[in-house]
Structure 1
């Protein structure tokens, strides 16, 4: 087969959309992955049968080095690439699938993350390279917005009166689109986050409704790569343990489940299902669990001092 990789991608996307009847939002995600990740790395004009497992491994290694995507996102792109080559094998006689033997990126276990206590968030913000970085770190930790959502945040999305942040857009690989959930959501704006945003709103430039909240010197959204490097530097300067910038989102989730119903936290975080939100419940330290259980038993013994049957089988 001497067709190009770009043609193979187009054929697979058409197959997914028209034959497999995937949801429009899913097809849109696949198109973004092909456009922003696979084609730049492997080349639209590259003959599809020239692409080797070594090329796929190099693609994965570069994504890890860039540090912009989670292991899960990297592996999802590999699954997509596998499907592209698999269709080319079935329809056009491509001899091998180069993704089949490629290594996958090891993923963290669900719930394996680091969180910052509120006091540590203040230390981190104080150690940031500039006030805007400190504000971004604070807002991330106290609203739970993803990095891409923070980079796409505009002043019209911040409602100081109602104390709400509206999450309408996200920046991924330099492209602005709808959030990961493809739904607009609203998140409470607590005082700590409101204060730092209010401070930024008083800067000399880039404070109109359509301006980004977090900007570079010409008013564009920040470079996520440079921001991650500055985050790492701020952690070291503050004497805090290594963590990912994304863990600030987890810090919010861990706090939120202690205050709000799970259904509310799910909505604030933009999770697709409640199972994802449950990881924060499991992560909350419950050092007082024994005391609380003991108090409950003591109360029950006081109110119902005698033994009585409940009708429940001993075998249940």
Structure 2
């Protein structure tokens, strides 16, 4: 993987340590260069603030109050959104955990720092009509590979990256059951996603066509691994044909989550979808603004 392009304008020792951290991310994590650059940007933001406040000489000098003041400054002075503040705090938590593990600090000052509370909103739900229109557009105007990808995502909740990394040997399809082995989930977690009858039938038809290669869904141009960007572009193409707007490829995963949350316990859904925390799965049972609007309309005066 290409080394990180981000550099951090700090004093020599701090700059060396932060650059070592970014290089470690590039070498050991399955992250895109853009993500690594964002880590570098978050570190630059903190260090610039600390140096401007006269609070940072070395990484070892960062204490819990330093990070608390930084969080308060982002909240009260910059009035940043909680999501932005928390992203930067998470970067610092990863950095100082790494720095402590590698002997650059004697303790981890970021560990007790709490994130800023934020109201989580549930993603917009794809409707039955939108799903039917999308599937019809792929079936009528697309190829079997594209149709199989869309059906698989709708019926398993796989992420784009997980779909792109699938290989034929990851499929295990029987007459009445089946599963797909997901070897490249978030944080490299492996899991088995069950395949229902619809997914099994579609995948069997696709496999019989002989379109797969080393990867289950290869690029039609190169024959090599299909990229996540390619999946997103492909799905947007069919959404446009289906006159479906305001949704992304990831909303196929959300569609699966919403439907399954009505039928199975959350802990089982979390296992199927590869969630590390039930808090993530909870978004599929939290009411959306549209749901809440419908509820209050029930008591309106005619």
TM-score, normalised to structure 1, is 0.56
Let me know the Cα RMSD of the aligned residues. Answer: 4.4
Contact 2:22/2:36 (<8 A) preserved: no
Compute the displacement of 1:110 (Å).
Answer: 3.1
Tell me how far apart the structure 2 counterparts of residues 143 and 225 of structure 1 sit (CA, whole Å).
20
Which residue number corresponds to residue 146 of structure 1? 159
Which residue number corresponds to residue 36 of structure 1? 33
Q: Quick one: structure 1 residues 205 and 130, their matched pair in 2 at CA, closer, same or farther if it must change by over 3 Å?
A: closer
Alignment of 1:1-316 (within 5 A): 3=12, 7-12=16-21, 31-32=28-29, 36-37=33-34, 76=87, 80=91, 109-117=120-128, 119-126=132-139, 129-161=142-174, 162-169=177-184, 179-207=185-213, 211-217=214-220, 218-283=222-287
Tell me how far apart the structure 1 counterparts of residues 36 and 15 of structure 2 sit (CA, whole Å).
7
Unaligned runs of 5+ in 2: 1-9, 50-81, 105-117, 296-302
Q: Secondary structure at the match of 1:249?
A: helix
Contact 2:26/2:33 (<8 A) preserved: no
Deviations 1:64-110 (A, max 9, x none): xxxxxxx979974785279869x9xxx9xxxxxxxxxxxxxxx9943
Q: Secondary structure at the match of 2:29?
A: helix
Tell me how far apart the structure 1 counterparts of residues 253 and 197 of structure 2 sit (CA, whole Å).
17
Compute the displacement of 1:181 (Å).
Answer: 4.7
Q: Secondary structure at the match of 1:260?
A: coil
Contact 2:126/2:255 (<8 A) preserved: yes
Compute the displacement of 1:204 (Å).
Answer: 3.3
Tell me how far apart the structure 1 counterparts of residues 39 and 22 of structure 2 sit (CA, whole Å).
17
Contact 2:134/2:238 (<8 A) preserved: no
Q: Secondary structure at the match of 1:159?
A: strand
Deviation beyond 4 Å, 4+ runs, structure 1:
1-6, 10-14, 27-31, 38-43, 71-75, 81-85, 283-287
Q: Quick one: structure 1 residues 129 and 32, their matched pair in 2 at CA, closer, same or farther if it must change by over 3 Å?
A: same
Unaligned runs of 5+ in 1: 15-26, 54-70, 92-106, 170-178, 291-316
Paired residues, what number?
224
Compute the displacement of 1:124 (Å).
Answer: 4.4
